[in-house]
């Protein structure tokens, strides 16, 4: 496994314990342990600070044809994610940038500052057919830097203007900032939100998702969204065998009490570099459980640590995966979750007259906000038994 290139104190508040190489890198870097010792002796500490570069996106709507993803288009306002979740399946995408899926993924971020401009242009194309557009399919649209860049909000403003349906998945309470837009869209049948809560154990969450909101704040976000009339659900994700699976029923119960009406779950996935990041993290934070956790992961992944087969990659296979599926179904049915899920509407879509803020690419709106310098630094389906399919359309 690649070295971390920095002693543990410099990784405080970060999820990954290493900065493993990009699989496309021609060179291999090794940590200079003597330098670390020298820095420590001189009380010199180099920390991983968040760096954000502005990206001028050429297109903004991403397409997919995956049969087990309930949407065919999505928008990712940011590359990389400061939440630093050790299990994040988006980590390998940073390798395409020549960066590490480890610490680089959560500290070297890219903000697509012209996302609203590009979305406006793409929705105006002749022949465009509206369908659910997902926010949060890859990296979290409400990660901490959204407070300053407000790109996700600008995207919602465009979608509302066009009457375009949107589904949001996030683990951030920052989504409640946009209740004004989301509630108006929800009244027109255009918006739905899912909050990801893998466990209510604050200690586990703090270690796995170091810069995400605490589980209690996410539950409170569900409450605020539902009180505002926004259809809201919970995703128990990821379920980590022998680490977070004990909390399935408690998460569903607490979310339902807060007003959630929908629920889904996702089994832990370890594609490509995510495997090394997660295993290293597990051995550092839970060394006594590591072997047991990985053994159960092999049981739900047909003897492997990961499987990418459509139909089973989100929920796993085998006896242990079936047990988790039944537990989820029983709890969801008992709590009255997933009883009805009206589809979001496509008939509201209408191309508006060009707005002044989009003629200049949204720059006038962006200039009215706080603008960090480029590269600046900061410190539905139901089976015969009546069970809701956990891979039913999230939105």
Compute φ and ψ for 34, nearest 5 degrees: -65, -35
**How far is the C-alpha of 129 from the C-alpha of 125, rounded, in Å?**
9
> Closest Cα partner for 327 from 261, 259, 241, 269?
241
Where in the chain does DSSP place strands (E)? 50-55, 61-63, 73-75, 78-79, 108-112, 133-135, 166-170, 191-196, 232-239, 262-267, 376-378
**How far is the C-alpha of 391 from the C-alpha of 321, rounded, in Å?**
13
**How far is the C-alpha of 272 from the C-alpha of 275, rounded, in Å?**
6
Map out the domains of the chain as residue ranges.
53-335
Measured CA to CA in angstroms, residue 310 lies from 106, 113, 306, 322, 391 at distances of 28, 34, 12, 17, 11
* pLDDT one digit per residue (tens) for the chain, 395 residues: 344 455 555 566 676 666 666 665 655 555 555 544 544 444 445 567 889 999 999 999 988 877 667 778 999 999 999 999 998 988 888 887 888 788 888 889 999 999 999 999 999 999 999 999 999 888 999 999 999 999 999 999 999 999 999 999 999 999 999 999 999 999 999 999 999 999 999 999 999 998 999 999 999 999 999 999 999 999 999 999 999 999 999 999 999 999 999 999 999 989 888 898 899 899 999 999 999 999 999 988 877 777 777 767 778 778 898 999 999 999 999 999 999 888 899 999 999 988 655 444 444 444 434 444 443 444 444 443 444 454 444 54
**How far is the C-alpha of 380 from the C-alpha of 234, rounded, in Å?**
15
Question: For the chain, percent helix, then strand, then coil, each to nearest 5?
Answer: 35, 15, 50
Q: Show the tokens assigned to 328.
A: 């989820």
Please give the class, per CATH, of domain 53-335. Answer: alpha beta
What is the per-residue burial (b if ≥16 Cβ within 10 Å, else e) of 237-253?
Answer: bbbbbbbbbebbbbbbe
């Amino acid at each position: 496994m690649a070295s971390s290139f920095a002693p543990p104190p410099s990784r405080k508040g970060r999820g990954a314990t290493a900065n493993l190489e990009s699989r496309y890198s021609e060179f291999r870097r090794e940590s200079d342990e003597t330098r670390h010792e020298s820095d420590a002796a001189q009380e010199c500490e180099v920390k991983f600070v968040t760096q954000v570069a502005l990206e001028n996106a050429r297109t903004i709507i991403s397409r997919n044809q995956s049969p087990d993803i309930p949407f065919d288009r999505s928008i990712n306002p940011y590359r990389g994610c400061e939440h630093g979740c050790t299990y994040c399946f988006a980590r390998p995408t940073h390798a395409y940038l020549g960066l590490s899926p480890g610490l680089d993924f959560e500290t070297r971020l890219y903000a697509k500052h012209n996302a609203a401009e590009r979305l406006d242009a793409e929705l105006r194309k002749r022949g465009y057919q509206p369908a659910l557009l997902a926010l949060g399919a890859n990296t979290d649209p409400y990660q901490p830097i959204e407070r300053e860049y407000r790109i996700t909000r600008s995207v919602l403003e465009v979608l509302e203007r066009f009457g375009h349906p949107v589904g949001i998945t996030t683990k951030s309470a920052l989504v409640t900032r946009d209740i004004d837009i989301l509630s108006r869209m929800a009244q027109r049948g255009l918006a739905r939100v899912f909050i990801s809560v893998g466990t209510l154990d604050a200690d586990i969450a703090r270690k796995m998702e170091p810069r995400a909101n605490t589980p209690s704040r996410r539950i409170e976000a569900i409450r605020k969204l539902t009180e505002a009339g926004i259809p809201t659900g919970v995703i128990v994700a990821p379920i980590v065998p022998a680490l977070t699976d004990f909390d399935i029923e408690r998460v569903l119960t607490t979310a339902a009490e807060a007003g959630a009406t929908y629920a889904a779950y996702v089994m832990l996935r370890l594609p490509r570099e995510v495997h090394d990041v997660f295993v290293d993290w597990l051995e550092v934070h839970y060394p006594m459980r590591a072997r047991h956790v990985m053994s159960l992961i092999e049981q739900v992944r047909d003897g492997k640590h990961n499987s990418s087969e459509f139909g089973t990659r989100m929920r796993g296979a085998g006896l242990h995966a079936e047990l988790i599926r039944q537990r989820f179904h029983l709890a969801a049915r008992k709590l009255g979750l997933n009883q009805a899920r009206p589809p979001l509407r496509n008939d509201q879509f209408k191309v508006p007259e060009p707005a002044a803020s989009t003629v200049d690419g949204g720059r006038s709106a962006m200039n009215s906000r706080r603008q960090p310098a480029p590269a600046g630094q900061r410190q539905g389906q139901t089976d015969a038994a009546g069970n809701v399919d956990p891979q039913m359309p999230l939105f």
